Structure 1
Amino acid sequence: MIAIKNVTIHTMAEDEIIKNGVILIDNGKICNLGSTIAIPENIEIIDGKNGFLMPGIIDAHCHIGMWEDGLGFEGSDGNETTDPVTPHLRAIDAINPVDKCFQEALDAGITTVATGPGSANVIGGTFATMKTYGKTIDDMVINECTAMKSAFGENPKRVYSGKKVTPSTRMATAAILRENLIKAKNYVEKQEAFKNGSAKAPDFDMKLEALAKVIRKEIPLKSHAHRADDILTAIRIAREFDLDLSLEHCTEGHLITESLKDEHIKSIIIGPSLSDRSKVELKNLTFKTPMILNKAGIKVSIMTDHPVIPLQYISLCAALAAREGMDEEEALRSITINPARAINADHRVGSIEIGKDADIIIYNGHPFDLRNTVKLVMIDGKVVKNQL
């Protein structure tokens, strides 16, 4: 058992902040916390030295390990640009856990990430959720099939129009997605008819097997969409097929706040905002977007889209959102409990609560003060960084 004492605990559970707090950890899990907790004898004690303690930071949308740092083509495994429809691809088969960016993320207090394919394809494959500490993907992974990536807007157009094949318009992108969702829906119906004994089993189709999880609402459609019209197309299709939708980037979300209250939207993950307006879709890029959506009653997460923004700067992105008017605790939630919920990992991570993984970080001051640094990082109850 381990005890952490002498810290202010920002639990991210409701509005709970525990001053002069103590956390007890056993077998990698949080087993007790509070300001009046008795510390058992003969256990390891970590003195937090009046630090700011919070759950490990989570990025719900990045590509760490998919585009390895400094390797160019040999380390570029995020976009299979030979086919616009590749739902059967799995991030877990491409992530390199020895990419040095994992260590940089860990040092900055990022303990959990959802990483996966890029946005070249209309349907790109599945994201995986993993811890940032470990030797192998199989050791690090929490969920190897977190969500199905899809993309709207400029990226599929640019990639495939250059090859003189479809899609070269937004119409074609939406049509391709619809066509494959219809095929997947029919495939699922045939599978169910087979289980009921009223039809023979459909011929195996690896792409449709992967998309069947989206149709059954086992995983969300994780849809890249920056511009308002593309966001609305994603919502329209989710509504048509009764899908769970995770909106990724949502750069112009602040222009259509009421539309973002649709029941099919499972989560909204905003970013990368710490970048230039490198393409037309980003002309309305602003750090005010999280604040505007949050004040409209919409819970949001903030992402880096690593390597677009290096993962270790996610707390800076949250700080800039707070500077632009977002409540500080809500900004902290946007990189902890909100992304945990977005990737269906909140039963394990994202807040300091009894029974959850002991993924804990301690700053020597408020994380939004850039003079402060992460002094301790713990994952699954194991101290992986300690500069206290």
Structure 2
Amino acid sequence: MIVITNASIHTMTDLILENGMVIIKDSKIEDLGYNLPIPENSLVIDAKGGFLMPGLIDAHCHVGMWENGIGFEGADGNEATDPATPHLRAIDGINPLDKCFEEALHSGITTVSTGPGSANVIGGQFTIMKTYGKTIDDMVVKECSSMKIAFGENPKRVYGNQKKSPSTRMGTASILRENFKKAEIYVEKQKKAIEGIEKAPEFDMKMEALAKVIKGELPLKAHAHRADDILSAIRIAKEFDLDLSLEHCTEGHLIVDYLKNENLKGIIVGPTLSDRSKVELQNLTFKTPTLLNHAGIKISIMTDHPVIPLQYLPICAALAAREGMDDEEALRSITINPAKTLDISHRVGSIEKNKDADIVIYNGHPFDLRNKVEFVMINGEIIRNEL
């Protein structure tokens, strides 16, 4: 067993324990509190008053899909040959030995949701994984966690340049509706086949993937920056009664009153620490997560790595705090909030009994850029210890 003592424990619930302690057994958090009995033969680690919190979570990135410093050979995030590729899985394109995993890990990012880019209207399935391990099997938390779809400039540009559909926002919406309707019909035929009413449909790999979306087993992860694209994503999800998280949501602050009344799976804001490289980013601001949060919307902050390197995730949260978000709320945006949006909060995102022992200790507050990560643990294994 491992016991961490003398820590300022920020649990990401409403509990902060000054000079507290955490007991880890195997891969889980066994207990936390004050003056707990230390089991015999435990490894005791003095946090020296350090800022202890759960491992950070990036709810939207592409780590391992665009490998560090390689170019085309390491670019496996966009199968830009067909606007609808729901059958593609990130798990088949990730290189877990990409150097960026190590950089993220040593910066306290212990869990990521990574997957296809936004060239295609339907890009494929994201994977949730830990940042430590040598193989995907070692690291995976959820093999297929969400279905990536994209609105706005990206699919227009990619397929417009190929003189193919979609070259307009209308085309993007029509491709989504067509595929979702086909999937509904496919699911209905499967159901009737089970009931013995009619013959089973011929196997269709794309429809098999979208069937999980139609059945509510796989949520949509919708790339949408501009306000009109955000509203289109919501409109289409409602038409087919699908679970939806909004990714990027760059102009979300322009339609706060609308968004706060929607039953969304989550809003994941970013990459905000970047330039305005295209038209739909003209209203880019760190006020977006703050204004959404002040409206009562639980948001997450992402890097969209490699757009912003993963290790700068806490800097993004710090800049949101500078714009007025409460410090603890900003920390929740990179811990428990993404855990809830990704449906993994039973395992990660907070310091609580029976959760994965993914623990990070800073030598001061994470938002002070002079401070650094001195300790990282994943699944109860010490990865870094400079205490």
TM-score of the pair, normalised by structure 2: 0.99
Report the alpha carbon displacement of residue 353 of structure 1 after superposing the two structures with TM.
0.5
* Aligned 1:32-47 pairs, distance under 5 A: 32-47=31-46
Q: Hey, what does 1:2 align to over in structure 2?
A: 2
Give the distance between the partners of 2:262 and 2:307, measured in 1 at CA: 30
Report the alpha carbon displacement of residue 274 of structure 1 after superposing the two structures with TM.
0.2
Q: Hey, what does 1:234 align to over in structure 2?
A: 233
Q: Hey, what does 2:386 align to over in structure 1?
A: 387
Q: Hey, what does 2:68 align to over in structure 1?
A: 69
Query: SS state of the match for residue 246, structure 2?
Result: strand
* Aligned 1:1-388 pairs, distance under 5 A: 1-13=1-13, 15-388=14-387
Report the alpha carbon displacement of residue 25 of structure 1 after superposing the two structures with TM.
0.6
**Amino acid in the other structure paired with 1:10:** H
Query: Deviations along 1:278-323, whole A, 9 cap, x unmatched?
Result: 0000000000111100110100000000000000000000000000
Give the distance between the partners of 1:4 and 1:92, measured in 2 at CA: 34
Query: SS state of the match for residue 148, structure 2?
Result: strand
**Amino acid in the other structure paired with 2:5:** K
Give the distance between the partners of 1:304 and 1:256, measured in 2 at CA: 22
Query: SS state of the match for residue 234, structure 2?
Result: helix
Give the distance between the partners of 2:240 and 2:277, measured in 1 at CA: 33
Report the alpha carbon displacement of residue 36 of structure 1 after superposing the two structures with TM.
2.9
Give the distance between the partners of 2:121 and 2:200, measured in 1 at CA: 28
TM-score of the pair, normalised by structure 1: 0.99
Report the alpha carbon displacement of residue 41 of structure 1 after superposing the two structures with TM.
2.5
Asked if structure 2 preserves the Cα contact closer than 8 Å seen for 1:243 and 1:264, the reply is: no
Give the distance between the partners of 2:57 and 2:266, measured in 1 at CA: 14
Asked if structure 1 preserves the Cα contact closer than 8 Å seen for 2:78 and 2:118, the reply is: yes
Gap regions ≥5 residues in structure 2 = none
Query: Deviations along 1:198-238, whole A, 9 cap, x unmatched?
Result: 22211110000001111111111100000000000000001
**Amino acid in the other structure paired with 2:143:** E
Give the distance between the partners of 2:216 and 2:372, measured in 1 at CA: 40
Deviates more, 1:259-268 or 1:117-126: 259-268
Give the distance between the partners of 1:263 and 1:247, measured in 2 at CA: 11
Report the alpha carbon displacement of residue 263 of structure 1 after superposing the two structures with TM.
4.3
Asked if structure 2 preserves the Cα contact closer than 8 Å seen for 1:239 and 1:264, the reply is: no
**Amino acid in the other structure paired with 1:153:** G
Asked if structure 1 preserves the Cα contact closer than 8 Å seen for 2:20 and 2:34, the reply is: yes
Query: Deviations along 1:37-89, whole A, 9 cap, x unmatched?
Result: 22123211111011000000000100000000000000000000100000000
**Amino acid in the other structure paired with 2:289:** P
Asked if structure 1 preserves the Cα contact closer than 8 Å seen for 2:318 and 2:330, the reply is: yes
Alignment RMSD? 0.7
Asked if structure 1 preserves the Cα contact closer than 8 Å seen for 2:91 and 2:143, the reply is: yes
Report the count of equivalent residues: 387
**Amino acid in the other structure paired with 1:239:** K
Gap regions ≥5 residues in structure 1 = none
Asked if structure 1 preserves the Cα contact closer than 8 Å seen for 2:260 and 2:295, the reply is: no
